[in-house]
Amino acid sequence: MRGSRMPTALTVAGSDSGGGAGIQADLKTFTAFRVFGLSAIAGLTAQNTRGVRGVELPTTEFIAAQLRAVLEDIGVDAVKTGMLATGAIIRTVAGAVREFRLTNLVVDPVMIAASGDTLMQHEAAPVMREHLFPLATVVTPNLDEATFLCERKIRTIDDMEEAARTIHAMGPRYVLIKGGHLPGERVVDLLFDGRHSVRTESPRIPGEFHGTGCTLSSAIASGLAKGLGVPEAVAAAQAYIALAMRSAPAVGGGRRPLNHCPDGFVPPEVRP
């Protein structure tokens, strides 16, 4: 006898052999939110807490086969994309989103790893803007990614507001600009829906971390899969990642991965 249906979320991203980011972080996050996690691996990295040593990319045909296998049989309530290294890979993913009429798409425009290693070919960014952003429910750039997308430096909160407007004009319903790279004792994130912006401030957690962007975007996707609206899903994800960072384990000799099963985290209930 089958049990009650569990919400499902799909990550389309790169694999991190060190376990702190990418597919591995996404699946751990889905589990913490009590969402059944599915994956289509769009890239393989030889990676640890210190950096990326190598990248191998599957063919677009195999990426499409992974997507079709999952979507034809199981279906998904939300999708999160991470490392999509080439324009051809982005077109393949966007094609699947359109063909299967996928909703609740969270696009984390991964361009550079926390270590500084490049994870996207230069020609891929315009393809992402043209083909994937218009399908997205939420786009979640950090300041470096927003700077690249907007082609101007972001140094202030006002600059973040302007960047959110510029990126929103590229097609997504919401833009979440992550302000962790701005100096100061408090971190400001900005959520923009095309008309209104909401700023969220939180104390800066000391230390250098690995996989925060992957974890945040997959947490947002988890909330959407459970029926939360975008502002609620973002708030739940921000609360989760704060706990995950504060209890980050001492693993490896570089940037610390997060604790994806932090004490005190209560996942949101499924909304009808």
163 lies in some domain = yes
- Long-range pairs, 239-243, Cβ under 8 A, ≥24: 239/265, 240/29, 240/32, 240/33, 240/215, 240/265, 241/212, 241/215, 241/216, 242/202, 242/205
270 lies in some domain = no
Tell me the pLDDT band of 113, cut-offs 50, 70 and 90. low
Tell me the pLDDT band of 112, cut-offs 50, 70 and 90. confident
271 lies in some domain = no
Overall number of domains in the chain: 1
Identify the weakest region by mean pLDDT among 56-70, 94-108, 176-190, 211-225.
176-190
Q: What is the CATH number of the domain that holds 109?
A: 3.40.1190.20
Range of 232's domain?
A: 8-257
Q: How far, in Å, CA of 151 to CA of 30, rounded?
A: 33
- 45 neighbors 39 (Cβ within 8 angstroms): no
Tell me the pLDDT band of 3, cut-offs 50, 70 and 90. low
Tell me the pLDDT band of 121, cut-offs 50, 70 and 90. confident
- 23 neighbors 211 (Cβ within 8 angstroms): no
Tell me the pLDDT band of 1, cut-offs 50, 70 and 90. very low
76 lies in some domain = yes
Identify the weakest region by mean pLDDT among 109-113, 196-200, 230-234, 237-241.
109-113
* Residue in this structure with the two tokens 């393809």, named with its chain if needed: 127
pLDDT of residue 4: 72
pLDDT score of 2 more than 80: no
Identify the sign of the CA torsion 56, 130, 63, 25. positive
144 lies in some domain = yes
- 249 neighbors 49 (Cβ within 8 angstroms): no
85 lies in some domain = yes
Q: How far, in Å, CA of 137 to CA of 80, rounded?
A: 10
pLDDT of residue 182: 87
pLDDT score of 249 more than 80: yes
Average pLDDT, the chain: 94
pTM of the model: 0.96
3-state SS of the chain: helix, strand, coil percent to 5? 35, 20, 40
Q: How many residues does the chain have?
A: 272
Mean of pLDDT values over 170-187:
92
104 lies in some domain = yes
Q: Give the rounded percent of residues in the chain with a pLDDT score beyond 70.
A: 97
Dihedral of CA atoms 234, 7, 45, 128 in degrees, nearest 10, equals -60
Tell me the pLDDT band of 44, cut-offs 50, 70 and 90. very high
* Residue in this structure with the two tokens 């950096």, named with its chain if needed: 51
268 lies in some domain = no
Of the candidates 128, 72, 126, 125, the residue with the CA atom closest to the CA atom of residue 105: 128
